[in-house]
Amino acid sequence: QVKLVESGGGLVQPGGSLRLSCAASGSIFTIDRMCWYRQALGKQRELVARISTNGGGTDYADSVKGRFTISRDNAKNTIYLQMNSLAPEDTAVYYCVFAGVRDYWGQGTQVTVSS
């Protein structure tokens, strides 16, 4: 069983930055990728970024390329999402997911971009 705890969300002005964290506890040996998803009110869930456990390759949604960076700290079993140049359309609940044989989801953290 893997438990994920997210932190770092909040209210930020347009153009600002936030860093989300997702710390995992439990056995993650069957995990092969770690992801951030988001879901805005009234919209479908969207894959924002992912990073593989093997080699650390990353992928990003077109909407966040060049602004968001996913990273990991293997020693801490933690992933991060650095979000820069935030815009109102980035407002959503952000979820971390550790995926593999089965998927584990965090509880979600609200990010609100507003002046």
Q: What is the mean pLDDT of the chain?
A: 95
Which residues, in sequence order, are CB contacts of 19 under 8 Å at separation 6+?
Answer: 8, 80, 81, 82, 83
Phi-psi region of 63 (alpha: psi -120 to 50; beta: other; left: phi over 0): alpha
Q: What percent of the chain has pLDDT over 90?
A: 87
pLDDT band, very low/low/confident/very high, at 92 (cuts 50, 70, 90): very high
Phi-psi region of 73 (alpha: psi -120 to 50; beta: other; left: phi over 0): beta
- pLDDT tens figures, 55-91: 889 999 999 999 999 999 988 999 999 999 999 999 9
